[in-house]
Structure 1
Amino acid sequence: MNPQHLQAQQQLIVRQRIRLMVNQYEVRGVLPDGADGPLLAFAQQKRMAFREQVTLYTDDQRQQPVLGFKARQVIDLGATYDVLDPDGRPIGLFRKDFARSLLRSTWHLEQPGFGAIVGQERNAVVAVLRRFSDALSWLPYHFDFTMQDQPVFSVVRKWGLRDSYRVDIAHPQVDRRLVIAMAVALDALQGR
């Protein structure tokens, strides 16, 4: 993953692959014509893992890690997840705001040298419907991530048979690796 190329991305697509024992995700850039670009990262998360951890690789051969995130605690409803580069250096972190998420999922992100970023489901009605009816868990949702009421990025779950997300990045200085980790986490960790 070329850091300059990645940081220049303004739109990403995250797609879940359907697998039996693991969650797998492809992260791609979006070309100027709207088509999917080349693979930027491939994520894998074991289901039913004791401690939540996801590693992202350069491709689906999983030979070269590019970043990852893992929970600090084993069991915690408002767990903090550290996002690390392949050498274990921190990129940032995110955590779920458990109290605010009871009705409308809310996440907090931190990037060193950057202001606090808060992400929340845009549509309160869809948020409530998804919580109280398993039959409606397939509803698409939209998260807006802001810093002091200014847009930083958004993640939109698209309609389809498999989970697919469009990520639009508005702030040029937000670390795309942190954005990718959060977008994958919204599927891998978000309670539906």
Structure 2
Amino acid sequence: MTEPVADKTPAAAERYVLRQKLTLMVNRYEIIRADEQGNELGLLCFAEQKRMAFKEQVTFYTDSAKTHPLFGFKARKRIDLGSGYDVTDGNGQPIGYFKKQFGASLLNSTWMLALPDGREFIGRERNQKVAIARRLWEVLPVVNDLPGPFLFHFDFKAPDGSVALSSDKKVGLKDVYHVTLPALADGKPMDWRVGMAMAVALDALQSR
């Protein structure tokens, strides 16, 4: 009997919408599955964070009662933000890791994202001029935590130059990002929870 040929066709890219909603007391992040045209297909999970609270930990839940954590990320050291952040599943098991590269971020925000199997990806702002303008905005004493007027986009690439994650900020009064997770060298996108944790961190921790 002839053995069936395994399908080696790469999986389609996964697409998501990340929306931040601001209120007087709470920051709310929503992750929504999207189709190839960017149409929203339904809410997957959300996180709520008290305004002015520490941003070293974010947990996403599937239910409004917050009884079923799906994933989250947390700083390894509360004070030393350079130590990086662990991404964990709903049971607290590690599924990824990311860290801001502060030296490289002086002119262009740069992050390292790693998977449990050892694969690493470097993410940078796509537009160098916008990256510099944001840096100048952030050092203005009157700005503090006010949102910047810049649209910033990030691409995370593997050592071979292929894109593993892209995040595009959309024009609007609210912070909305379209996030794409293309198939990697093994034919599959990275774990969407890791990719979306990184996407949230690009918004929540960008000024750190």
Question: Normalising by structure 1, what TM-score?
Answer: 0.88
1:147 corresponds to: 158
Contact 2:13-2:189 within 8 A present in 1 as well? no
Aligned with residue 112 of structure 2, among 95, 102, 108: 108
1:127 corresponds to: 131
Q: Deviation per CA, 1:36-59, whole angstroms, max 9, x where unpaired? A: 111011022333334610000114
Q: Deviation per CA, 1:150-187, whole angstroms, max 9, x where unpaired? A: 11110011111010000011122311110010111111
Contact 1:24-1:42 within 8 A present in 2 as well? yes
Structure 2 counterpart SS, 1:182: helix
Pair 1:99-2:111 in alignment: no
Q: Which moved more, 1:182-191 or 1:76-85?
A: 76-85
Q: What amino acid does structure 2 have at the position aligned with 1:165?
A: Y
Pair 1:55-2:59 in alignment: yes
Question: Normalising by structure 2, what TM-score?
Answer: 0.82
Structure 1 counterpart SS, 2:202: helix
Q: Deviation per CA, 1:31-88, whole angstroms, max 9, x where unpaired? A: 3553211101102233333461000011444221100101011122424101111111
Q: Which moved more, 1:113-122 or 1:100-109?
A: 113-122
Instruction: Give the alignment's Cα RMSD to 1 decimal.
Output: 2.1
Q: What amino acid does structure 1 have at the position aligned with 2:35?
A: L
Q: 1:65 and 1:26, CA in 2 relative to 1: closer, same or farther beyond 3 A?
A: same
Structure 2 counterpart SS, 1:133: helix
Structure 2 counterpart SS, 1:78: helix
- Distance (whole Å) between structure 1 residues aligned to residue 203 and residue 193 of structure 2: 16
Q: 1:156 and 1:120, CA in 2 relative to 1: closer, same or farther beyond 3 A?
A: same
Q: Which moved more, 1:29-38 or 1:136-145?
A: 29-38
- Distance (whole Å) between structure 1 residues aligned to residue 81 and residue 41 of structure 2: 36
- Distance (whole Å) between structure 2 residues aligned to residue 173 and residue 183 of structure 1: 15
Gaps of 5+ in 1: 1-6
Contact 1:42-1:56 within 8 A present in 2 as well? yes
2:175 corresponds to: 163
Identity, % of aligned positions: 47
Pair 1:13-2:17 in alignment: yes
Structure 1 counterpart SS, 2:82: coil
- Count of equivalent residues: 186
